[in-house]
Amino acid sequence: MTTTPRDLAVFHLCTRDAAHHALASGQYRADSLEQEGFIHLSRAHQVLPTARAYFAGVPEVVLLVIDPTLLAAPLVYEPPAPLPSDTPKSDEPGELYPHCYGPIDAAAIVDVMELEHYSGLPVPAATMALLRQYRFQRLPVEGTLYRQTWQATETLASGSPVGTAMIGLFADSLGSVSRFHRLTHDEVWHAYAGDRFVLYLLHDDGRTSSVVMGTDPLAGQAPQYVVPAGTWQAGALQHGGEYALYGCTMAPGFTPACFEAGGVHELTQRYPAAGEIIARLGVTTGETHMPTLPQG
């Protein structure tokens, strides 16, 4: 048995259905646990090579982000198992991979993200601490890390709440950004902690603008900003940032019916000068409407 490397986060590739089952049942198990006695995991730099070697062509692959400090079963770093093909998982001689010798409790799974948005970067300590504290979910269509913190009990005639609030996390290491969308009501953004982030705005009259959000107003950062109803908006960390903790409030409150996502092709045609940021933050899945949000 070998060990040594210690990572702030380790990762596991699986299907979306397997991830949902694990969170619902409270425990993740893989076939390898019965067959080999452990679950294969990856370090940050090993995820993408492992995906190419084992999951090429597999649909609906997601990435479990696992906090090693919350694992009940032993975590051991060992040489990789033989590959089913000639494709190497790593060019590094003596490369060790993390193996979990038991089931993975759902409490140790601090995020489930789309594999296509994973950068291969390790998750920094502060970001992992925020994942543990807030237990974010992923916003449908956008993939943003978020948590609803308040929904008014009072409702409008339509049945919508009179107000809502959420807290969110931008983190490049986890591919968490806000993709272009517009809302039928004004939305108030608040900067809480961490690094600066930018709101990119596409206005109905064809103008484009941006707002740097942050906690230092004397340095020109906006701690609060109102995005008017109907304005296309997106948000992401400024280059080089680690994370930004922010909040959004709405009155009337947010419901999936007030949301429309902005596709890359459509927005680029209308706002060609913003083509670069639209290519980065526009929606490419074809989904423009949001399903009912998960509760909890």
Query: Is residue 25 a contact partner of residue 105, using CB atoms and an 8 Å limit?
Result: no
For every one of its 296 residues, what pLDDT tens digit does the chain have, with 9 covering 90 and above?
A: 787 778 999 999 999 999 999 999 999 999 999 999 999 999 999 999 999 999 999 999 999 999 999 999 999 999 986 655 555 555 466 799 999 999 999 999 999 999 999 999 999 999 999 999 999 999 999 999 999 999 999 999 989 999 999 999 999 999 999 999 999 999 999 999 999 999 999 999 999 999 999 999 999 999 999 999 999 999 999 999 999 999 999 999 999 999 999 999 999 999 999 999 999 999 988 789 998 776 55
CA nearest to 191, candidates 249, 268, 124, 130: 249
The per-residue pLDDT for 82 is 61
Listing DSSP states for 133-144 in one string gives HH--EEPTTT--
Residues 198 and 35: their CA atoms lie apart, in Å, by 48
| 249-to-78, 156, 199, 231 alpha-carbon distances in Å | 47, 16, 15, 16
CA nearest to 47, candidates 62, 27, 32, 29: 62
The per-residue pLDDT for 85 is 52
Query: Is residue 282 a contact partner of residue 263, using CB atoms and an 8 Å limit?
Result: yes
Cα 28–17–288 angle (5° rounding)?
Answer: 135
The per-residue pLDDT for 1 is 72
Domains of the chain, each with CATH number or no CATH: 10-123 (3.20.170.20), 137-281 (2.60.120.10)
The per-residue pLDDT for 111 is 98
Report the helix count and the strand count for the chain, using DSSP H and E.
6, 19
The per-residue pLDDT for 94 is 78
Cα 153–155–156 angle (5° rounding)?
Answer: 165
The per-residue pLDDT for 93 is 61
